[in-house]
Amino acid sequence: MKRRGMVPWPAESAAAYRSAGYWLDKSLGNHLWDWADRYGDRTALVDGERRLSYRALAIRVDSLAENLLGLGLRPGQNVLVQLPNCWQFMVTVMACVRIGIAPVLALPAHRRRELAHVATESEATAVVVPTSWKDFDYEGLAHEVAARCPGSPQVLVLGEPGREGSVALDPLIGTVDDSGPLRAEDVAARRRHLDAVDVDPEDVALLLLSGGTTGLPKLIGRTHNDYEYNARRSGEVCGFGGDTVYLAVLPVAHNFPLACPGVLGTWGVGGRVVMAPSARPEVAFPLIARERVNTTAVVPAVAQRWLQAAGTGPADLTSLRSLQVGGARLAPEIARRVPAELGCALVQVFGMAEGLLNYTRPDDPPEVVATTQGRPISPHDEILIVDENDVPVAQGESGALLTRGPYTPPGYFRGGPHNKRAFTPDGWYRTGDVVRLHPGGNLVVAGRSKDLINRGGEKISAEEVEDIAYSMPQVVEAAAIAVPDDELGERICLCVVLKENETLAMTDVVETFSRTSIARYKFPEHLRILPSLPHTPVGKIDKKALRAEFMTL
């Protein structure tokens, strides 16, 4: 059974992906037990002092899965998960997928506006959060969100529950040691029971959030079949193996560290995943040294910080073999410094939670690695580079990138009318990226046509920022634009026209955005008050002209 609101691939494509061996028709939960059977006592996951073997991981996943059923959660439902990088994140995600519940992966930075939207859209039946983290009361927010949701989802918390109605997560996972009171026959019985839960590998396994170009995040339904292939094929392309020690340093709710190849790509081949609670060099570097990490994935802003830190302090990064950098444009001059100064290979990754993944390859010449964003992973990835009329451009010219393929679903989950804009009638996804083909066959990201700001890899829809700006009574017209920034690549500049005799200060803007309860990274960081905004002949705000104007200020 597939969820209502997912858009399936056409039958012929699905048949082709199956016969090519991409789609294995097995649920991710069953894959996890295959890995546990294959790699048993090897370490799958490290978080601080805690180390879980593959078997211990699968046992905990089943324990939580069984207890989620005990709480009344059911296959086919969706559960909002907002956890930082920790071992319980992965156990929760895998426990959900094991029983056909799709975790909706919110970022720790998301706040009421985003959470309420995705919880409502997905009809979440539970919300999983830490009680508090980095001085923020996630439990309080979860209860607020739950109270506003039509289905009154349950609240599960990591940590000691502080409010009535919260259910503690850890006891549901089970605190037993594998060597302790846990009996092999109990594990086997539970496994048999959960194996019998009917999970359709063609159904949505998990729901990723899109950065989105319209008001609020869209849900991306990734199926068991497509996501397992996404991770497995990424791992093949990147040379992952049993000796891979992967540091999950970006928030694992992101597609990149989760499955590109990320955590799932490492587990599929019996490697070891190390969870990093932060990307700061003071946190990540000692972990790399202690665990002899050889592979990790970061955004360009983090790569830049690491380069700086490695050059100024003592850091043992000798184990690092490969640094994957993606999510935003990597300047070639920074790219060239990675091998020279960090002593590891650079892999550029141009990916998207909607699917298509491009990696530079180990045998690409160094200049190609430094100046291109790689090529697709699958022989069945289809790519078109088109002009504004969807007509393919001449070879080597820049154009809008359209794609279809075995791990790019042909529609957003419950995408409604938005799917008509984001996909062509024959199922091509409009990435909103402007690319050109490098003579060697790799893609170069030349820009984008979608209206978003890419702040250090976090995507912010301009419309979302503008909607809030318009709620300020002083504002007549508002436009959010990306302005270049040395550290983060881009930051948000809010350009506004005010009513006569009104004033507006940055503090007013911050106050409005705080009241709205939206992720902090979406707050404007520059404010420009202008007498008027430039318009296109059809009357839309001319953002190109506005950006050009900003650059000359």
Q: Which residues bind ligand J2J (CB under 6 A)?
A: 211, 255-256, 260, 326-329, 348-353, 357, 373, 431, 433, 445, 448, 457, 459
Measured from the CB atom, the residue of 77 and 431 that comes closer to ligand J2J is: 431
Distance CA(138)–CA(135), nearest Å, equals 9
Of residues 165, 183, 188, the one with CA closest to residue 66: 188
* Distance in Å, CB of 329 to ligand J2J, minimum: 4
Distance CA(324)–CA(298), nearest Å, equals 6
* Distance in Å, CB of 261 to ligand J2J, minimum: 9
* Distance in Å, CB of 70 to ligand J2J, minimum: 34
The structure tokens 């549901």 sit at 172
Distance CA(386)–CA(491), nearest Å, equals 28
Token pair for 125? 């039946």
Measured from the CB atom, the residue of 404 and 459 that comes closer to ligand J2J is: 459
Measured from the CB atom, the residue of 47 and 433 that comes closer to ligand J2J is: 433
| Neighbour-count burial for 32-71, b at 16+ CB within 10 Å, e otherwise | bbebbeebeeebbbbbeeeebbbbbbbbbbbbbbbbbbee
Measured from the CB atom, the residue of 269 and 357 that comes closer to ligand J2J is: 357
* Distance in Å, CB of 258 to ligand J2J, minimum: 8
* Distance in Å, CB of 335 to ligand J2J, minimum: 10
On whether the CB atoms of residues 130 and 104 are closer than 8 A, the answer is no
* Distance in Å, CB of 257 to ligand J2J, minimum: 8
HEC per residue, 264-307: HHHHCCCCEEEECCCCCHHHHHHHHHHHCCCEEEECHHHHHHHH
Distance CA(457)–CA(454), nearest Å, equals 6
Distance CA(232)–CA(458), nearest Å, equals 25
* Distance in Å, CB of 352 to ligand J2J, minimum: 4
* Distance in Å, CB of 86 to ligand J2J, minimum: 21
Measured from the CB atom, the residue of 113 and 218 that comes closer to ligand J2J is: 218
Token pair for 85? 């990088």
* Distance in Å, CB of 475 to ligand J2J, minimum: 28
On whether the CB atoms of residues 399 and 386 are closer than 8 A, the answer is yes
Measured from the CB atom, the residue of 89 and 256 that comes closer to ligand J2J is: 256
End-to-end alpha carbon distance in the chain? 57
On whether the CB atoms of residues 319 and 346 are closer than 8 A, the answer is no
Closest residue to ligand J2J in the complex (CB): 351
Measured from the CB atom, the residue of 304 and 348 that comes closer to ligand J2J is: 348
Which residues contact residue 511 at a Cβ distance below 8 angstroms, ignoring those fewer than 6 apart?
none
Task: Please report, as a single letter, which amino acid is at residue 324.
Answer: Q
* Distance in Å, CB of 330 to ligand J2J, minimum: 6
Starting at the earlier edge strand, list the strands of the sheet with 443-448. Answer: 382-386, 399-404, 429-437, 443-448
* Distance in Å, CB of 331 to ligand J2J, minimum: 10
Measured from the CB atom, the residue of 100 and 411 that comes closer to ligand J2J is: 411
On whether the CB atoms of residues 305 and 311 are closer than 8 A, the answer is no
CB atoms < 10 A from the CB of 81, how many?
A: 24
On whether the CB atoms of residues 262 and 268 are closer than 8 A, the answer is no
Measured from the CB atom, the residue of 445 and 533 that comes closer to ligand J2J is: 445
Measured from the CB atom, the residue of 101 and 328 that comes closer to ligand J2J is: 328
Phi first, then psi: give them for residue 29, nearest 5 degrees: -65, -40
Measured from the CB atom, the residue of 78 and 431 that comes closer to ligand J2J is: 431
